[in-house]
Amino acid sequence: MICNKTIIIMVRRQLKRNSHKSWFVLGLILGMTITFVRTYAYLRYTSGQVIQCMEPFVLLLNDYTYNQMVLLGYLLMITDSPFISGNSLFTIMRSNRREWFRAMLVYLLFLSFFYYGCILIETLVMSAPIGYRENEWSSSFQVLVLYQPEEAFSVWGILVENRNLVRFCTPYMVMIATYLLQALYAGILSIVSFVINLKGRWVLGNAATVIFHLINVLILKSFMSLWIGKYSMFARSMLVQYKINADGIPGLPITLGIYLGIIWGGYVIGRIFVMKTDFQIQKEGRG
């Protein structure tokens, strides 16, 4: 999966084509809107007190509900996967199927990192007037996490359930880990959709992606306190679900390895599927 010049060109062209599509724009608007609502609530909760600039991003994506709402925005952006069009057929004829497939996987991963990068930038812009860059949690955030004041949840709907997040981790450490986990999990969902859509109707891959995510949510909600809860890929995307201690986040490297392994598995299976795909049927929407 090495990105050569041809793959980079195909990724750039795909981004340019998709950025004008309604689902792409709608998904981005949804994600940015949810981010605005959540960040605004936290700024109102702090009543103008200074905060660490990474805190809104950390709060947003470590909240069970808002995390999924932001994720929905990304899934809308890749609704028309596997992006087959007349231009795609021309590109495939000029290169080859597997090179096109590699380019589309790179595109999906780039898009997930780009999307969550936009979410991060929005939180930074909104928190800039009262935010500072030092790698220490603000007093407001520490009180919120350590003491979980009733007003924070009842009035603003803000809750962080892992106190060790502020005891043993720094803001930049949590931000980087959160960004990587969210982007990779979203990338996994998009690759599942893409690979399945290569062999079936477009709606089949989208439905399979939703089912895959809902199963992971069900595992988290039903077995969170049991050993089976650790098998939820969705749970692994949120740091508040980790056992954090003085040594840091021991489970994080394992999760990153699992995520990368799933992505590699999707790549291997997709290489087989792409050689058997009738792209003309896919284009016409009959396969």
184, pLDDT greater than 60: yes
What count of Cα atoms within 13 Å lies in the side-chain half-sphere of residue 143?
13
Residue 226 has pLDDT above 60, yes or no: no
Q: Phi, psi (5° rounding) for residue 52?
A: -75, 135
Lowest-confidence segment of 96-100, 135-139, 250-254, 275-279 by average pLDDT: 275-279
Residues 6+ apart with CB under 8 A from 94: none
Max CA pair span of the chain: 61
pTM for this predicted structure: 0.89
Q: What is the pLDDT of residue 92?
A: 61
Average pLDDT over residues 99-108: 89
What pLDDT score does 278 carry?
61
> What is the spatial distance between Cα 192 and Cα 101, in angstroms, rounded to a whole number?
13
Domain spans in the chain, listed from the N-terminal domain onward = 5-280
Residue 1 has pLDDT above 50, yes or no: no
Answer yes or no: are the C-beta atoms of 108 and 192 closer than 8 Å: no
* pLDDT at residue 212, rounded to an integer: 86
Q: Is the dihedral of CA 268, 189, 178, 247 positive or negative?
A: negative
Output 93 or 230, whichever has higher pLDDT.
230
Across the range 18-33, mean pLDDT stands at 92
pLDDT of residue 246: 87
DSSP-assigned beta bridge partners for residue 51? 131
The pLDDT of residue 122 is 97
Contact assessment for residue 219 and residue 213, using Cβ atoms and an 8 Å cutoff:
no
Give the percent of the chain with pLDDT over 90.
Answer: 47
Average pLDDT of the segment spanning 229-257: 86
The pLDDT value recorded for residue 256 is: 94
pLDDT digits (tens, 9 = 90+) for 61-101: 999 889 999 999 999 998 877 666 656 555 665 667 778 88
Higher pLDDT, 150 or 177: 177
DSSP single-letter state for residue 136: S
Backbone φ and ψ for 51, nearest 5 degrees, come out as -135, 160
Q: How far is CA 57 from CA 51, 111, 174, 186, 210, in A?
A: 12, 18, 10, 16, 24
DSSP E strands in 53-192: the ranges are 131-132
Q: What is the pLDDT of residue 247?
A: 85
**How confident is the model over 257-262, as a mean pLDDT?**
95
pLDDT score of 30 more than 70: yes
